[in-house]
Homo-oligomer: A and B are copies of this chain.
């Protein structure tokens, strides 16, 4: 319906994100906070106070591997991985814990919907030097710290 399409086109970024979020695996909703939509990906902050950590979920139906994206989509994805790295650094600074190393991972062994992790690491973090995936249990953010991290990440991502 043309009217609906027009409304969608005019919806603010936050509402578009929530609309698309209905296509997300519930596992993402349970473990992360929406940041908004980039050109290709829906971006979320992982709700784990141990690391500044952004999850990028390409808004492409049924994609499970990088192979399922077009070359143009993969190019955009690479740009958004870079942007997420800057945002993770900004969130780390906002939390008073400067990021010393970025880790990027595309696994999907547990949650098959294609997604990428961009994680800010420090030699004094919980899992260093190992990977964060599958390491211990997430730690809840204090509400004020979560707000600071989300705000810093959004500014860095232009959301």
The majority secondary structure among interface residues of chain A is mixed
Q: Please give, as numbers and ranges, the residues of chain B lying within 8 Å of A129 by CB-CB distance.
A: 109-110, 134
Bound together, the chains give a CA A132 to CA B141 distance in angstroms of 28
| CB interface residues, A 116-159, toward B, < 8 Å | 121, 128-131, 133-134
Q: Please give, as numbers and ranges, the residues of chain B lying within 8 Å of A23 by CB-CB distance.
A: none
Asked if A104 lies at the interface with its beta carbon under 8 angstroms from chain B, I say yes
Whole-angstrom distance from the CB of A87 to the nearest CB of chain B? 13
A121 contact from B78, B109, B121, B128, Cβ within 8 A? B109
Q: Please give, as numbers and ranges, the residues of chain B lying within 8 Å of A8 by CB-CB distance.
A: none
Encode contact with B along A17-58: 1 for CB under 8 Å, 0 otherwise: 000000000000000000000000000000000000000000
In the complex, besides A66-B102, A130-B133, A130-B134, 8 extra interface pairs with C-beta distance below 8 angstroms are: A65-B85, A67-B102, A74-B78, A103-B107, A103-B108, A105-B106, A131-B131, A131-B133
Q: Nearest 8 pairs between A and B by C-beta?
A: A109-B129, A130-B134, A104-B106, A131-B131, A105-B105, A131-B133, A103-B107, A110-B129
